[in-house]
A and B are shown apart, each in its own frame.
Chain A
Amino acid sequence: MNVDESMLDVYIYETQQLLESLENTLFAGENDKKLNTEQINEVFRIMHTIKGASAMMEFEHMAKLAHSLEDMFALIRENDAGSYDWPAIFDNVFSAISFFNGELAKLLDKQTMDGDSSDLIAKLKLLVARMKGESAAPAATAKKEPEAVTAETPVFDHKGDEAYYKVKLFFEENSQMENIRAFGVVQAVRKISVRFAHIPEDLNGDAATEEIRNNGFLVFLQSGENPDRIKALLETTLFLKSCSVLPIDGDDEEVPAAIRQGRDTAGAEAAHETLQAKADDHQANGEGGVSLESVAKQNFISVNVNKLDNLLNIVGEIVTAQSMVINNADFGDRQHDSFDSAAQQLHSLINELQDIVMSIRMIPVSTLFQKMRRLVRDMSKKFGKQIELEIIGEETEVDKNVIDYLSDPLLHIIRNSVDHGIEDAATRTSNGKPAYGKITLEARMTGSDVIVTITDDGGGLSRDNILKKASEKGLLTKPESEMSDKEVYGLIFLPGFSTKDQVTEFSGRGVGMDVVRKNIGVIGGSVTVDSTPGMGTTHTIRIPLTLTIVDGMKFNVGKMNFIVPTVSVRSAVKPDVKDIFTDPEGNEMIMLLGNVYSLIRLSRFFNIEDAVTDLADGMVMHIASEEREFCIFFDHLDGEYQVVVKKLPNYLKHCSSSLDGVSGCAILGDGSINLIIDVNSVQ
């Protein structure tokens, strides 16, 4: 099948949705240790849909696996009260979900889908075999075939002089389920025949299909209809390749004895009410339609995220263009009242537009949080720990981009909590804690931020171990005794820090907490950790609500323009030179409102040569981030601007290894390029 891109998108999207609801169904069921009838039906239906779609896309391994699952649930569906090995069923379906998701991920990355589902299928086969063994007793396992009815009376008067015909049909290759197609032919023949017989006689099963494929479907019938009409009737059959109707002698050797004796072999087959009669009954119900309007109504549309990204970009450009117009130098200093009021109106409309565009991109964190449920489930099984995951505030909405960047950090932190944080049941009970460990995942909204906390009630971080490790790796910058607990815990975010040497399937794959900080940093957020030994650990992730349009303070150092997000700025002052001093190691410090902060000259940090060097000529900005407060020294403050954050172009990342201190850039209305300061990495 030739696949166009949009169909692939729909396939991926829909399959992902199905897998997600499948997973939720399983979680709901796992609490009850079994699935109820409705849930079984749903799982069956989902598998059926995935099977069909995957087969259409020619993703064979996906289709086969879905087929096996469908078969298994068909079996369960027939006897849903039976006792099954539910834990094994859950495990297998969860593994299958992982397989499907893995393949879909490859598809998304445009890689080849090289996953092999044979092992999973083999496991399912075993499970099904066991099920059949166990549930052989209940009668319900028998397939519900249509009830057998004894021979029917022909619909028309039998004059006794009707001719005999031999009909031979072939179906098109690849039309599939030829036995059922033959069954359809039988239904048609029944309506025009006094009596008939067919070869193969038994239309159930693969043997019949095989025979019809190889030798065709043979029908002998006695009918008052003329051969042309018989042929015309049979030729309406779909996927018919050829059809021949030959008059034969009723006493011909070839004619099955059954119809020569006047007995209808098909009599044992399913009979049905004459459709015409049934239809007549209902003809009166034909009218009373539904209006087209009610049919067409739909409240949701799905939109490609790229389009939303483009929309957001354009809104960003509009914001920039707006300030280009409003602050245009051509206006000079003259009064222009009507322009100002028009500009004001434009400004508020653009703000509204921006709000709407942002809100379109907002999605609840529930999907992401549910993913964690799966992780905790799988890991606690693996490590033999009993852990409960509590989710609070999953309806909290964040930008689509945030979800993408939040996923890995959450995975990582929760892995750590399960693997290193929560103790095994024995240790827990001996410490007087409940055997069940608990991880709480919470999202909540503050005015300008979304805060995600991950709390476990495990053993907590060990100050001593962290310090030991950090000093081994040479990561300490001041004496151990001078470091606060928070500072010590903060060490785990440094690159190259990892407390567990052992690499497990889930955690410690060479990525440390530094990746967590980096990922969160990309979306302008911050992460901190707090811990009480013996009681547990809390990670707090703080993410700004809007990502791409921020309020910032603009300043310059030499000819370079910089912007620092206003949320991080505490104050900006002309320093009093006598408040600035140098500590014994040569670091400059400044005293502000009775507190001492380190003073970083941006000109030195960024190697800018034409900058102000005399402290009396420049300015100081007091900056506070989640984990530290410090001051920067710069030349001149320009004012506050709303800017659109752009990622640094990739070619910059190639030519310089150090882009520390810069998180992005912004182009202002006057065309100037401004670097956005990453307050966490300036030091």
Chain B
Amino acid sequence: MAKIMIVDDAAFMRITIKNMLKKSVHEVVGEAENGKLAVERYRALSPDIVTMDITMPEMDGLQALREIISINPGANVIMVSAMGQEAMVREAIMSGAKGFIVKPFKEEGILSAIDKLA
């Protein structure tokens, strides 16, 4: 079982991911709606795995990823991206993201990614 934190500015996406994880053994321990909160909550909650949206207000997912990696170099961060964000995903990978998932994705998709890191 892994503790998961979901970072996305859209409540819809957060709920969707949460619902997908409900049937799994994993537990969603926190959510954040922007990068800044994500970093704060990462410190407070130390989740095992973070799903990180890229485009967000306040602080985007790339910056949040970098800050989380600086807190914990081994952090498991999965970027939640979409077609058209290739360049940003590259940067994320170089900054230490463990991988990425492309919207729209299905339950099996996100579960297989999380299971692999858990």
Contacts and interface: CB of A to CB of B under 8 A. Distances in A.
Interface in A13-56: 14-15, 42, 44-45, 48-49, 51-53, 55-56
Given A1-B106, A180-B100, A51 B30 contact: no
B94 interface: yes
A56 B103 contact: yes
Interface size, A (range): 35 or more
B90 A7 contact: no
A238 interface: yes
A681 B12 CA distance: 46
A49 B9 contact: yes
A448 interface: no
B70 A290 contact: no
Given A7-B16, A52-B103, A180-B86, A295 B73 contact: no
Contacts of A180: 86, 89-90, 93, 100
A313 to B, nearest CB: 28
Nearest to A277: B73
A541 to B, nearest CB: 35
Interface in B4-22: 9-13, 15-16, 19
B10 A14 contact: yes
Interface residues of B, number: 52
A518 to B, nearest CB: 37
B44 interface: yes
A184 interface: yes
A291 B44 contact: yes
A285 B89 CA distance: 25
Interface string B48-90: 0000000111000000000001111100001001111011011
B55 A184 contact: no
Interface majority SS (helix, strand, loop, mixed), chain A = helix
A10 B12 contact: yes
A623 to B, nearest CB: 50
B72 A286 contact: yes
Given A55-B104, A289-B43, A10 B87 contact: no
A290 B10 CA distance: 23
B11 to A, nearest CB: 5
A55 B70 CA distance: 33
Interface string A57-72: 0100001000100110
A14 B78 CA distance: 24
B41 A295 contact: yes
B102 interface: yes
A181 B92 CA distance: 12
A282 interface: yes
B73 A275 contact: yes
A310 B105 CA distance: 37
A177 B44 contact: no
A290 B43 contact: yes
A290 B91 contact: no
Contacts of B107: 1
Contacts of A607: none
B44 A290 contact: yes
B98 interface: yes
A71 to B, nearest CB: 7
Contact of B55 (A11, A49, A275): A49
Interface stretch (A138-146, A318-326, A328-336): A138-146
B60 to A, nearest CB: 9
Contact of A276 (B73, B95, B99, B102): B73
Given A70-B84, A146-B94, A177 B89 contact: yes
Given A238-B101, A275-B96, A7 B116 contact: no
Contacts of B40: 290, 295
Contact of B102 (A1, A45, A176, A272): A176
B89 A279 contact: no
Contact of B103 (A55, A144, A145, A179): A55
Given A4-B19, A187-B93, A144 B78 contact: no
A295 B45 CA distance: 10
Contacts of A7: 12, 15-16, 19
Given A7-B16, A52-B103, A238-B99, A176 B10 contact: no
A524 to B, nearest CB: 35
Given A14-B11, A48-B55, A52-B103, 6 more contacts: A143-B87, A184-B100, A236-B98, A282-B71, A282-B73, A286-B72
16 contacts: A1-B107, A49-B9, A143-B87, A145-B87, A177-B86, A180-B93, A181-B100, A238-B116, A239-B99, A239-B113, A270-B94, A278-B70, A282-B73, A286-B72, A290-B41, A295-B30
10 nearest CB pairs, A to B: A279-B73, A238-B99, A282-B70, A55-B104, A176-B102, A289-B43, A272-B94, A52-B103, A53-B12, A184-B93
Interface of A: 1, 4, 6-7, 10-11, 14-15, 42, 44-45, 48-49, 51-53, 55-56, 58, 63, 67, 70-71, 74, 143-146, 172, 174-177, 179-181, 183-184, 187, 236-239, 270, 272, 275-276, 278-283, 285-292, 295
